[in-house]
Amino acid sequence: MLTVIVETGEAGDRLPALLAALTSAAVDGLVREVLIAGGGPPELLAVLREETGAELADDLGAALAASRSDRLLILPAKIRLRSGWLEALGGHLRGGGGDAVIVGEGGAFSGRGYGVLIARGPAVALARPDLKRLRGELGRGAARLA
């Protein structure tokens, strides 16, 4: 099971849509917990926490430290997950797949964003973690999941 960390950045208004997309992953038993890192509108965060059970963390480093799973799925709030993303992720995990890049609609460089699937150890070991540095930890050989 995974811990999902959603980094809000400048896209806190997109949190509800992403959390709704993650609901099916929780129902399928892939997601253990969801952490929201970086803040957002306090009223919105309170409602989302109540409705989804997501926990809050001040920043990505705090979320990494609080995570309880060995595998982490770290996504920016701005990502638009492609249809079929859950099947691709599930197949990757069932096949023993390791680290991967999750590519949003339109690709990683279109402004739609990307996320990473990474082991907890290397992520926590980074002094000042951010999504770009985590992507660099994966290397060029990491699987790409859409």
What's the CATH code of the domain at 95? 3.90.550.10
Q: Range with the lowest mean pLDDT among 11-15, 96-100, 118-122? A: 11-15
Average pLDDT over residues 86-114: 81
For residue 106, what pLDDT is reported? 60
What pTM does this model have?
0.90
**Mean pLDDT taken over the chain:** 87
Give the chain's domain count. Answer: 1
Residue 8 has pLDDT above 90, yes or no: no
Q: What count of other Cβ atoms lies within 10 Å of the Cβ of residue 23? A: 13
Return phi, psi of residue 97, to 5°.
-60, 145
Domain housing 39: 2-145
